[in-house]
Amino acid sequence: MSHPSGRRTRSAGRTAMAALGAGLLCATVLAAPSSAAGGRPATSPPSNPAPAGDDSHLALTPPMGFNNWNSTHCRAEFNEEMVRGMADLFVERGLKDAGYEYINLDDCWALPERDAEGKLVPDPERFPHGIKAVADYVHARGLKFGIYTSAGTKTCSDIGFPGALGHEYSDARQFADWGVDYLKYDNCNNQGLDAKQRYLTMRDALRATGRPILYSICEWGENRPWEWARGVGQSWRTTGDIKDNWESMLSIMKKNLPLDEYAGPGGWNDPDMLEVGNGGMTDTEYRTHFSMWSIMAAPLLIGADLRSAPQSAFDILSNEEVIAVDQDELGRQGKVIASENGRWVIAKELADGSRAVALFNESDQPQRVSTTARAAGLPHSAGYRVRDLWKHADTHTAGKISATVPAHGTVLVRVSPDRDWAQLPPAVDSGVDGGAIAESGDGVRLTAATENLGRQPVRSVSTGMTGPEGWRVRAESRPGTAVLRGGATFRSTWRIDVPRSAEPGSHELKLTTTYRLPSGRQVRSDSQVLVRVAVAPAGGTTHLSDLAPLSTANGFGPVEIDRSNGESAAGDGKPLTIGGRTWSKGLGVHAVSRVEYFTAGRCERVTASVGVDDETGERGTVAFEIQADGERRAGTGTLTNSQDAQEISADVTGAETVTLTVTDGGDGSEYDHADWADLKVTC
Ligand code: GLA
């Protein structure tokens, strides 16, 4: 069984309360303080500490910069050339001007052993000129420099680099001498010692250097740092590590969103670094990632190697109107004001009294997401200015804020009461809410709604729909109207004939809407429409693993057909095995996972034998659930690796879709290899 880059080891380190720990605690407490010149490492302050570094002015807005981890992990391309290249790009490509400031090294910059004096030694292959030279290079470009270590005996990498536990004062001194401006302090190999104490010791050690060093606490939210870390560090990770995929980003976002009350100037919730530009998500998803991190007032640490990133990554990362939401000096984290069926509304109060509002669509279909200026916290006004921060355009509304948002997309706007609303064109939203599911050769009907959210009428409204080649799209009703008054909605209905040759999967159509503003100017907008082509199971009993699912989402790697989950490539697992018993048919997934099938209202029952696959040893806790049209019909509660397979059976009579979900049992998703063995549907 393959395990990417030592997740297993780190996880063990997180919980280990080794016997060694007790001995080490004594040893570190008794260690002598270091002298100003270095000398023996120590955990307690030197007898004549330097004047305390003033950290009260640090991170008044969330930190912005770069960290190599998400793009390189410990691979060889993490070296001084990369760091210098990033510093150059920050200046040349306008990122510095956009506010990005720190260039940070993550794990693996040091040699595994300290020198005879107990000092950290930079890896001479990666950093042949040492760390100070890199810091100087970064500083010479008007940027700041950051470094990484762990509040443990070793850092998180399997290779075993030295951690700062018991060496806090001498390591902090060494960092300050190199010109470090930012420290990310991780949590691996912590010997079970009290987290708050470990993080406080390093805070004091940093202060004792006299150099202002932004202190980023990285204990993955394990000890509820939002409750104690303000005044210790300037940011605290709230979750485990982000991965460059939609499910990971989404689950991290959902953990960080409820913590809004803890964020503010000088102390920020940190949902981990950005993946924008690393290639594992679509641009729509990356815009959601960046919009949501900004409305959550999260640190914006670019995690892509911009020397090879596509232009789209620069376009997203340097959107100054979105960055301004993140960097707003009031320092509020956006609050969830509505969340239902994958439609999310988040509102963030801004220093000028306006509100940033994110309309986020978590689902796999375009959906209309709506709120009002009042619900977002704004005072009453005859009209409001709505600034679209991705389209860079202003419109007005009478109070409703609404958009048909593409699958996985986010519309991010800035809304303010505006006496001059009449100078702005009315906001018009046009789209198909929800899309459709069809079988190949079928006909489906879709209704598009065009709503005028403003106060003035728009004229000569016309809608048109186009499909992929070979698809027939006809208007079943009038596709346009001469006048659409403020507050009114116009509906047009379309008949779509899905060709027999259409492959199962999502097919994109386009709704185009044009209208004339009061000024006479014509506006044209396009909206995503999705038809998901699916194959319904035949009559009788069928193995679901023989059918193409409507949609899948999986913790690591793809959902495996008739194999266990190998975590990366398709087919890299083993036979499905639970409690020593093996099955030839079924699905191998990894929490958090979601697999959706089309049942066309023609099926009755779904059954399976479920459990944690034996390949994860003694670990792994998961919970299985079967939903019919989004409603729970059967579930297992939390299952562990020591349990044999459990039978699960759900009545799905009449459902259009059946969804199989696996959650992580509440303890994170590591080792959560889950099997839907002998998974069958009866129709
Ligand atoms: C932990 C941290 C990551 C990264 C790695 C480095 O997993 O949470 O952000 O720093 O260690 O090994």
Expressed in angstroms and rounded, the spacing between residue 234 Cα and the centre of ligand 1 is 18
- The tally of domains found in the chain comes to 4
532-548 pLDDT, tens per residue?
999 889 999 999 999 98
Query: By alpha-carbon position, which residue is closest to atom 11 of ligand 1?
Result: 156
Using pLDDT thresholds of 50, 70 and 90, give the confidence band for residue 104. Answer: very high
Instruction: Report the CATH number that the domain containing residue 344 is assigned in CATH.
Output: 2.60.40.1180
Q: Is the separation of the CB atoms in 14 and 82 below 8 Å?
A: no
pLDDT > 90: percent of the chain: 84
Judged against a pLDDT cut of 70, whether residue 30 lies above it is answered with: no
Q: Calculate ∠ Cα 359-361-364, nearest 5°.
A: 165
Ligand 1 pocket test, pick from 9, 69, 184, 275 with the greatest ligand atom count within 8 Å of Cβ, gives 69
Q: What is the mean pLDDT of residues 445-467?
A: 98
Using pLDDT thresholds of 50, 70 and 90, give the confidence band for residue 367. Answer: very high
Tell me: do 84 and 127 sit in the same domain. Answer: yes
Expressed in angstroms and rounded, the spacing between residue 502 Cα and the centre of ligand 1 is 44
251: part of which helix (H) or strand (E)?
A: helix 246-256
Domain assignment present for 581: yes
Task: Specify the ligand 1 atom closest to the Cα of 156.
Answer: 12
Using pLDDT thresholds of 50, 70 and 90, give the confidence band for residue 554. Answer: confident
Domain boundary among 395, 424, 453: 424
Question: Is the CB of residue 104 below 6 angstroms from any atom belonging to ligand 1?
Answer: no
Q: What are phi and psi of 44, to 5 degrees?
A: -105, 160
Question: What is the C-alpha separation between 398 and 401, in angstroms, rounded?
Answer: 9
Residue 571 CA neighbour count, 13 Å, CB half: 0
Catalytic residue among 123, 158, 177, 241: 241
Q: What are phi and psi of 19, to 5 degrees?
A: -55, -35
Tell me: do 525 and 550 sit in the same domain. Answer: no
Judged against a pLDDT cut of 50, whether residue 32 lies above it is answered with: no
Tell me: do 316 and 195 sit in the same domain. Answer: yes
Domain assignment present for 467: yes
Structure tokens at 302: 């670019």
Domain assignment present for 359: yes
Judged against a pLDDT cut of 60, whether residue 16 lies above it is answered with: no
Expressed in angstroms and rounded, the spacing between residue 241 Cα and the centre of ligand 1 is 7
Domain boundary among 396, 424, 452: 424
Question: What is the C-alpha separation between 532 and 366, in angstroms, rounded?
Answer: 12
Tell me: do 122 and 92 sit in the same domain. Answer: yes
Question: Is the CB of residue 598 below 6 angstroms from any atom belonging to ligand 1?
Answer: no
Judged against a pLDDT cut of 70, whether residue 311 lies above it is answered with: yes
Task: Specify the ligand 1 atom closest to the Cα of 218.
Answer: 8
Using pLDDT thresholds of 50, 70 and 90, give the confidence band for residue 247. Answer: confident
Query: By alpha-carbon position, which residue is closest to atom 5 of ligand 1?
Result: 156
Task: Specify the ligand 1 atom closest to the Cα of 237.
Answer: 8
**497 compared with 40, residue with greater pLDDT:** 497
- Give the pLDDT of residue 482: 98
Question: What is the C-alpha separation between 219 and 389, in angstroms, rounded?
Answer: 33
Question: Is the CB of residue 218 below 6 angstroms from any atom belonging to ligand 1?
Answer: yes
- Give the pLDDT of residue 17: 28
Expressed in angstroms and rounded, the spacing between residue 156 Cα and the centre of ligand 1 is 6
- Name the residue range of residue 643's domain: 541-682
Tell me: do 458 and 545 sit in the same domain. Answer: no
Question: What is the C-alpha separation between 542 and 424, in angstroms, rounded?
Answer: 58
Question: Is the CB of residue 69 below 6 angstroms from any atom belonging to ligand 1?
Answer: yes
- Give the pLDDT of residue 21: 28
Instruction: Report the CATH number that the domain containing residue 496 is assigned in CATH.
Output: 2.60.40.10
Q: What is the mean pLDDT of residues 632-651?
A: 97
Expressed in angstroms and rounded, the spacing between residue 273 Cα and the centre of ligand 1 is 10
Tell me: do 388 and 521 sit in the same domain. Answer: no
Ligand 1 pocket test, pick from 7, 218, 220 with the greatest ligand atom count within 8 Å of Cβ, gives 218
Structure tokens at 97: 């001007």
Expressed in angstroms and rounded, the spacing between residue 329 Cα and the centre of ligand 1 is 29
Question: What is the C-alpha separation between 87 and 135, in angstroms, rounded?
Answer: 10
Using pLDDT thresholds of 50, 70 and 90, give the confidence band for residue 47. Answer: very low
Judged against a pLDDT cut of 80, whether residue 8 lies above it is answered with: no
283: part of which helix (H) or strand (E)?
A: helix 283-295
- List all residues 6 or more positions away from 15 whose beta carbon is below 8 Å from its beta carbon: none
Ligand 1 pocket test, pick from 148, 183, 186 with the greatest ligand atom count within 8 Å of Cβ, gives 186
Task: Specify the ligand 1 atom closest to the Cα of 273.
Answer: 9
Question: What is the C-alpha separation between 124 and 337, in angstroms, rounded?
Answer: 51
Q: Is the separation of the CB atoms in 548 and 504 below 8 Å?
A: yes
Question: What is the C-alpha separation between 143 and 102, in angstroms, rounded?
Answer: 6
Catalytic residue among 55, 106, 171, 186: 186
Q: Is the separation of the CB atoms in 491 and 447 below 8 Å?
A: yes
150-191 pLDDT, tens per residue?
999 999 999 999 999 999 999 999 999 999 999 999 999 999
Expressed in angstroms and rounded, the spacing between residue 567 Cα and the centre of ligand 1 is 19
Task: Specify the ligand 1 atom closest to the Cα of 106.
Answer: 10
Question: What is the C-alpha separation between 63 and 143, in angstroms, rounded?
Answer: 12
Question: Is the CB of residue 670 below 6 angstroms from any atom belonging to ligand 1?
Answer: no
Task: Give first-to-last CA distance, the chain, whole Å.
Answer: 36
Q: Is the separation of the CB atoms in 154 and 189 below 8 Å?
A: yes
Judged against a pLDDT cut of 90, whether residue 558 lies above it is answered with: no
Question: Is the CB of residue 107 below 6 angstroms from any atom belonging to ligand 1?
Answer: yes
Domain assignment present for 49: no
Tell me: do 309 and 449 sit in the same domain. Answer: no
Tell me: do 390 and 497 sit in the same domain. Answer: no
Instruction: Report the CATH number that the domain containing residue 293 is assigned in CATH.
Output: 3.20.20.70
Q: What are phi and psi of 396, to 5 degrees?
A: -120, 155
Task: Specify the ligand 1 atom closest to the Cα of 5.
Answer: 12
Domain assignment present for 7: no
Query: By alpha-carbon position, which residue is closest to atom 3 of ligand 1?
Result: 241
Expressed in angstroms and rounded, the spacing between residue 186 Cα and the centre of ligand 1 is 7
Structure tokens at 468: 């992929």
- Give the pLDDT of residue 253: 94
- Give the pLDDT of residue 19: 25
Q: Is 186 a catalytic residue?
A: yes
Q: Rg (Cα) of the chain, in Å, rounded? A: 28
Q: Is the separation of the CB atoms in 559 and 571 below 8 Å?
A: no
C-alpha pair distances (Å), 329 with each of 129, 235, 352, 652, 655: 38, 16, 9, 51, 49
Closest CA to 207 of 158, 169, 234, 163: 169
Structure tokens at 340: 């239902």
115-158 pLDDT, tens per residue?
999 999 999 999 999 999 999 999 999 999 999 999 999 999 99
Judged against a pLDDT cut of 50, whether residue 31 lies above it is answered with: no
Ligand 1 pocket test, pick from 104, 217, 241 with the greatest ligand atom count within 8 Å of Cβ, gives 241
Expressed in angstroms and rounded, the spacing between residue 43 Cα and the centre of ligand 1 is 23
Question: What is the C-alpha separation between 115 and 605, in angstroms, rounded?
Answer: 66
Q: Is the separation of the CB atoms in 323 and 351 below 8 Å?
A: no
Domain assignment present for 41: no
Question: Is the CB of residue 157 below 6 angstroms from any atom belonging to ligand 1?
Answer: yes
Tell me: do 181 and 196 sit in the same domain. Answer: yes
Question: Is the CB of residue 186 below 6 angstroms from any atom belonging to ligand 1?
Answer: yes
Measured on CA atoms in the order 271, 276, 281, 282, is the torsion positive or negative?
Answer: positive
Q: Is the separation of the CB atoms in 19 and 682 below 8 Å?
A: no
Judged against a pLDDT cut of 60, whether residue 6 lies above it is answered with: no
- Give the pLDDT of residue 46: 46
Domain boundary among 370, 402, 424: 424
Closest CA to 451 of 394, 493, 420, 491: 491
Tell me: do 258 and 161 sit in the same domain. Answer: yes
The amino acid at residue 375 is A
**247 compared with 486, residue with greater pLDDT:** 486
If phi over 0 gives left and psi between -120 and 50 gives alpha, with beta otherwise, what is residue 69?
A: alpha
Query: By alpha-carbon position, which residue is closest to atom 9 of ligand 1?
Result: 241
Expressed in angstroms and rounded, the spacing between residue 274 Cα and the centre of ligand 1 is 13
C-alpha pair distances (Å), 393 with each of 390, 401, 606: 8, 15, 49
> Average pLDDT, whole number, for the chain?
91
Domain assignment present for 513: yes
Question: Is the CB of residue 106 below 6 angstroms from any atom belonging to ligand 1?
Answer: yes
Instruction: Report the CATH number that the domain containing residue 625 is assigned in CATH.
Output: 2.60.120.1060
- Give the pLDDT of residue 36: 31
Tell me: do 149 and 251 sit in the same domain. Answer: yes
Tell me: do 405 and 512 sit in the same domain. Answer: no
Question: Is the CB of residue 78 below 6 angstroms from any atom belonging to ligand 1?
Answer: no
Expressed in angstroms and rounded, the spacing between residue 18 Cα and the centre of ligand 1 is 21
Expressed in angstroms and rounded, the spacing between residue 195 Cα and the centre of ligand 1 is 16
Q: Calculate ∠ Cα 9-175-28, nearest 5°.
A: 60
Judged against a pLDDT cut of 90, whether residue 22 lies above it is answered with: no
Question: What is the C-alpha separation between 360 and 232, in angstroms, rounded?
Answer: 33
Q: Show the DSSP H helices in 296-382 as ranges.
A: 311-317, 320-326
Task: Specify the ligand 1 atom closest to the Cα of 6.
Answer: 12
Closest CA to 647 of 578, 554, 597: 578
Instruction: Please name the residue that has the structure tokens 């990632």.
Output: 289
Q: Calculate ∠ Cα 201-202-208, nearest 5°.
A: 95
Ligand 1 pocket test, pick from 107, 159, 273 with the greatest ligand atom count within 8 Å of Cβ, gives 107
Q: Where are the beta strands (DSSP E) in 263-353?
A: 268-270, 300-302, 335-340, 343-349
Domain assignment present for 47: no
Task: Specify the ligand 1 atom closest to the Cα of 155.
Answer: 12
Q: Is 678 a catalytic residue?
A: no
565-605 pLDDT, tens per residue?
987 678 889 999 999 999 999 999 999 899 999 999 999 99
The amino acid at residue 636 is T
507-528 pLDDT, tens per residue?
999 999 999 999 999 999 999 9
Query: What is residue 572's three-state secondary structure?
Result: coil
Ligand 1 pocket test, pick from 106, 109, 184 with the greatest ligand atom count within 8 Å of Cβ, gives 106
- Give the pLDDT of residue 667: 84
DSSP 307: T
Query: By alpha-carbon position, which residue is closest to atom 1 of ligand 1?
Result: 156
379-435 pLDDT, tens per residue?
999 999 999 999 999 999 999 999 999 999 999 999 999 999 999 999 999 999 999
Closest CA to 527 of 460, 453, 434: 434
Cis amide prior to 610 (ω within 30 degrees): no
pLDDT > 70: percent of the chain: 92
- Give the pLDDT of residue 52: 58
Q: Is the separation of the CB atoms in 152 and 191 below 8 Å?
A: yes
